[in-house]
A and B are shown apart, each in its own frame.
Chain A
Amino acid sequence: DAGITQSPRHKVTETGTPVTLRCHQTENHRYMYWYRQDPGHGLRLIHYSYGVKDTDKGEVSDGYSVSRSKTEDFLLTLESATSSQTSVYFCAISESGGGTNTGELFFGEGSRLTVL
């Protein structure tokens, strides 16, 4: 199994509080991603990183920020959590990011966030 660790795995918080989810990898992969998974929507990309300090937005980035100060860590922050951000969050990594032969993602086990 790819070395990806998400923390915390479960969190319950209240509306308006900040939350940070951490993704840690031991594979030295360049690309890291944060997805959220909701019933009826599948997985939707929040933000991704293509290198240290290099990040870009996905399709559902509003209300989220990310940081990557080291290759192995990718942090997802909800500055002020809302109930609509209740979801399961998945981190994924990829050794390469483009082309026809490439781009297999390895996923963490997910972080279940409940915002009351």
Chain B
Amino acid sequence: SQQGEEDPQALSIQEGENATMNCSYKTSINNLQWYRQNSGRGLVHLILIRSNEREKHSGRLRVTLDTSKKSSSLLITASRAADTASYFCANRPIGGAQKLVFGQGTRLTINP
């Protein structure tokens, strides 16, 4: 399987704390993306980091990419109850013919 792996599978923290999710992938990539999915809904794109970038910020989100380790992390700072959702990383392999390969997701629960 080309699927990447995410770690942890589930994470439960208190509101206000920071949440970190990790993602690994298997092949050389053009870019890596993070998506969010609320229960019963479709996925929503959060942020894209290119293969030549090491870090990117968007609001309370910080994404890092280490292509030598084929890994990425998503940090959500000052978490809120509304951040409760599943988070997926997805990579776009070089030569992957327009395919986006998703990880299995991290289920994040923010406790008020």
Contacts and interface: CB of A to CB of B under 8 A. Distances in A.
The 5 tightest CB contacts between A and B, nearest first, are A97-B98, A107-B42, A42-B104, A43-B102, A100-B50
Interface residues of B, number: 31
A98 B88 contact: no
B111 interface: no
A56 B96 CA distance: 12
Contacts of B48: 101, 103-104
Interface size class of chain A, counting residues whose CB lies under 8 Å from the partner chain: 20 to 34
Interface of A: 4, 31, 33, 35, 40-45, 48, 50, 56, 58-59, 90, 92, 94, 97-110
Nearest to B92: A103
Contacts of A4: 42
B102 A98 contact: no
Contacts of A31: 98
**For B31, B33, B41, B88, which residue has the most chain A Cβ atoms within 10 angstroms?**
B31
Nearest to B31: A100
Contacts of A97: 97-98
Nearest to B51: A100
Contact of B104 (A40, A100, A101): A40
A99 B104 contact: no
Nearest to A96: B98
Interface in B81-112: 88, 90, 92, 96-105
B7 to A, nearest CB: 13
